[in-house]
Structure 1
């Protein structure tokens, strides 16, 4: 896996676990209100920080138990200007909270022992990923996301991860912004039940557009916030698939529209999800990052780790 920052190539493991399901677990399982789907306000209280630490520590413990590496995702997915303003946060406050999130993660990594641990600065789209109206062009997206990325560049992050992106020009802007600050970057597109982006664009085309506009600067691409049933059929043994190196899947088979309307958590079947991701790992041994998104918790992550370890590719 080619990453531009020196710390990442030294991770000598063939499986990395990533977890991006904290918000749905907090809201639906623990009854914690997260206005705007934002978890970063939890950093402002001792109890809130303890909640975030629990998830991060659980991931490190899982990596230790399963002999895998872990990618710790920061609670900063919607900590950008417009989405922060919608719940009352100023740019100055957002900068502080972005940086506080990474500082907390760095402290935990220092205690992680021998577990290979990557700190990912998780950033999300400017607007609702499921309904990407008022799409930015690449220059607009670069200017917009540079504000958050500039704050994160002052911290101990290893990589910037643009999660749940719905159209290529926003992804291009994120890649260019990360490149401006000398940071490695991952792009995770979300797809609908037909395996296409919410804009209707095929995943292959979106990846090709980003690579063409950025001289293939992104370290790799991922799929996130979709169930394997939604995209397994589009994964083909063609050159473009080599750029897809991560799957962070939903537990639920529901469409994005159905998830938006959901009043209860659909946590799917952890064992089945683990098996489905291990099947993808068997088909495409170059994919090294696996994990859970909406509706998942540590039950799902353990099944993903166990099943994927059992399906170690023979190379």
Structure 2
């Protein structure tokens, strides 16, 4: 019998996420990521086991700290344009997305808890930190449709779109999820000034995207930035219900050039996140992005408590 699971916005619980798997794979496990894509690791037993162990650690920590968690399938770059240079065509990508979800389902079965959710991770069409041409809402909707449809018949509870920094693409991605009848969380990325790449204020972008999509997203998050970058930009916006922080306060450009992992101070990061939650009580999802590990997540939950 299938467990009845509540999505974060339907629950009174806090949920943990771990979006720092890429840097963990590179710097902790010594695994090479082709083009920073982790989905090819599904094909080798050794690296497949590492992907599973990352999420198993999240499940174990969530149980220990009595919070829920969201297991993100390693599909952030499993879309047409970003996978093509790695030799993946449309048919193969369908199987990749389904296989990634099945691996997360295997991890979830070990938990036997109704507060462990499986999500497919959706990424932007291009590198979000590179200069790319503008895209219309409808073009983005059409582009992301293929990946959404590949997930429709899987066991995902929702999809999470991470590291979007162009409002039109974010809106199109949300509409593509709606077309596929998939609940979606939209996570935006900001620069060190708390604004998106084009200088737009975070809360204004959220309102803009909601207007373009009739508020179709479950809610919004911020990821891949340090608390010092976004703490003053949240404004207790009721639709912003998740924060997924980098360990380092460096800019994206500085992190791209880094040869060593900057893990920051887990205790300090936990305190900074807890203070943001105190000032933004609608936040239900918290977690770690680049440079973080379970130490950082444990610190966040302890300080929050």
Q: Which TM-score bucket, shorter chain as reference?
A: over 0.9
Q: Which residues in structure 2 correspond to 1:31-50 (within 5 Å)?
A: 31-50=30-49
1:14 shift after superposition: 2.2
> Are 2:213 and 1:183 aligned?
no
Contact 1:13–1:68 (8 Å) recurs in 2: no
Q: Name the counterpart of 1:133.
A: 132
Distance in 2 between residues matched to 1:47 and 1:13, nearest whole Å: 37
How far, CA to CA, are the matches of 1:40 and 1:170 in structure 2? 22
What is residue 248 of structure 2 aligned with on the other side? 252
For residues 218 and 48 of structure 1, the distance between their equivalents in structure 2, rounded to whole angstroms, comes to 33
Q: Structure 2: how far apart are the matches of 1:222 and 1:111?
A: 28
Cα drift, residue 171 of structure 1:
0.5
**1:106-255 aligned within 5 A:** 106-114=105-113, 116-237=115-236, 241-255=237-251
Tell me how large the CA RMSD over aligned residues is. 1.4
What is the correspondence of 1:85-96 to structure 2 with a 5 Å cutoff?
85-96=84-95
The superposition leaves residues 18-73 of structure 1 with CA deviations (integer Å, 9 ceiling, x where unpaired) of 00001111112222100111111111011111001101110110111000000111
CA distance in 1, matches of 2:189, 2:204: 13
Please give the per-residue CA displacement for 1:241-265, whole angstroms capped at 9, x wherever unaligned. Answer: 1000000000010101111111111
Alpha-carbon shift at residue 147 of structure 1 (Å): 0.7
Partner of 1:286: 282
Q: Is the 8 A contact 1:165 1:171 kept in 2?
A: yes
CA–CA separation in structure 2 for the residues paired with 1:152 and 1:199? 31
Which of 253, 260, 274 in structure 2 is aligned with 1:264?
Answer: 260
CA distance in 2, matches of 1:236, 1:206: 13
How far is 1:80 from its partner?
0.5
Give structure 2 stretches of 5+ with no counterpart: none
Question: How many matched pairs?
Answer: 301
Conserved in 2, the CA contact under 8 Å of 1:132 and 1:166? no
Separation (CA, whole Å) in 2 of partners of 1:150 and 1:135 = 24
Partner residue in 2 for 1:313: none
Distance 1:132 1:165, change over 3 A: farther
The separation in 1 between residues aligned to 2:183 and 2:152, in whole angstroms, is: 11
Q: Is the 8 A contact 1:8 1:158 kept in 2?
A: no
Asked if the contact 1:149–1:177 (Cα under 8 Å) also holds between the matched residues in 2, the reply is yes
List alignment gaps of at least 5 residues for structure 1.
1-5, 311-315
Does the 8 Å contact 1:63/1:115 carry over to 2? no
Cα distance change on mapping 1:293 and 1:36 into 2, 3 Å: same
The structure-2 alpha-carbon separation of the partners of 1:116 and 1:7, relative to structure 1 and needing over 3 Å to count, comes to: closer
User: CA, structure 1 residues 30+111, in 2 after alignment: closer, same or farther (shift >3 Å)?
Assistant: closer
CA distance in 2, matches of 1:105, 1:155: 11
TM-score by length of 1: 0.92
Deviations 1:120-139 (A, max 9, x none): 11010111111241121101
Map of 1:8 onto structure 2 = 6
Segments of 4+ moved more than 2 angstroms: 6-14
Question: What's the secondary structure of 2:121's corresponding residue?
Answer: strand
